[in-house]
Amino acid sequence: MIEKIWFDNHILGKLLWPILWPLSCLFKWLASKRKADYQSGKKVSYRASVPVVVVGNITAGGNGKTPVVVWLVEQLQLKGYRVGVASRGYGGKAPYYPYLLTETTTPDISGDEPVLIKQRTKADVVVAPVRSDAVKVLESQGVDIIITDDGLQHYALQRNVEFIIIDGKRRFGNGKYIPLGPLREGVDRLSTVDFLICNGERPKDNEISMRLEPSNAINLVTGEKRDISSLSNLVAFAGIGHPPRFFETLKSLKADVVHTQAFGDHKAFEPTEIENLMQHGEQLIMTEKDAVKCQSFAQSSWWYLPVDAKFPEEKAQQILDKIIEVKEQYGLSSS
């Protein structure tokens, strides 16, 4: 319901305005003050020994940050750089922080997105509520570049390159601050970052177009890859920031979906909860982020659909050139 207030101008927003508006003003004031304290030096921020690239947004909810993080890591790895990823680890509860993921780390420890990034890229991934703590561990691992998954508003950590990911369809909703609207920061923040990435729809003049390109469906048990059009009687579910985006993707692929079920972002699934969905069809299709949480109790009729961030070739090169340029300059300034 809160997203309907934020993005669909639901009548409940008007009814709750007397309560939400003062809270929204308080959130804006606190966020602005905290940022100003770091920028003025009143609060100390950490400067890493290697470049830090922040991939974030100014709105709450999923905008497509993680696919961009994966793309950046993979592209920089191809160029010979050792890349580390820092994350808050939302949805996980590690035995201690900062926590360096291993190949066997589960989402209940680190959260779902860090596990996905680790599995896809094999990069060093560290989670910690205080991102500078994660960054320090990555520095000790000998990485060349650090990418933070989210953290645009984490001003306790200095950064060299900033990305804002924009949901091309929902944009900035009603333009109000949390909890009346989805904003973490004002839209004036858009003019201060290096790259604005528009996920889907038509980008504005100063934005780079990005699309999420799905590949073959992958079986959670066997690892078999199949064209999704060859799967029948599919039950689709998604526990991501904006589930309708996943369902729309399936529709565009002409997948034989007979039932859909949306869950909250980062939801920890119970096995029976997912198994019960099977009463609506013969096979399950889910997002890759959900797959990492269902892997341990998956059945042979369960599949996931991976997606990859795709950019226009010229813009992709522009992004990589900027990061590499910063890396080269950073090395000189640090020596």
Establish whether 272 is an annotated binding residue.
Answer: no
Establish whether 63 is an annotated binding residue.
Answer: yes
CA gap 263, 18 in Å, rounded: 29
Which residue has 């926590």 as its token pair?
99
DSSP string for 231-291: --SEEEEE-SS-HHHHHHHHHHTT--EEEEEE--TT----HHHHHGGGGG-SEEEEEHHHH
Establish whether 60 is an annotated binding residue.
Answer: yes
* Per-position b or e across 112-124, b if 16+ CB within 10 A of its CB: bbbbbbbbbbebb
Amino acid in position 256:
D
Residue 308, beta-bridge partner list: 213
Closest to 261 (Cα-Cα) out of 275, 244, 249, 248? 244
CA gap 157, 176 in Å, rounded: 26
Establish whether 62 is an annotated binding residue.
Answer: yes
Order the strands of the 283-287 sheet from edge to edge.
Answer: 225-226, 217-219, 302-305, 283-287, 234-238, 257-262
Q: How many CB atoms lie within 10 A of CB 190?
A: 16
DSSP letter, residue 46: B
Q: How many CB atoms lie within 10 A of CB 88?
A: 21
Establish whether 173 is an annotated binding residue.
Answer: no
CA gap 25, 9 in Å, rounded: 19
Question: For residues 269 and 106, is the Cβ–Cβ distance under 8 A?
Answer: no
Closest to 181 (Cα-Cα) out of 66, 27, 65, 36? 27
Binding residues for ATP: 59-66
Binding residues: 59-66
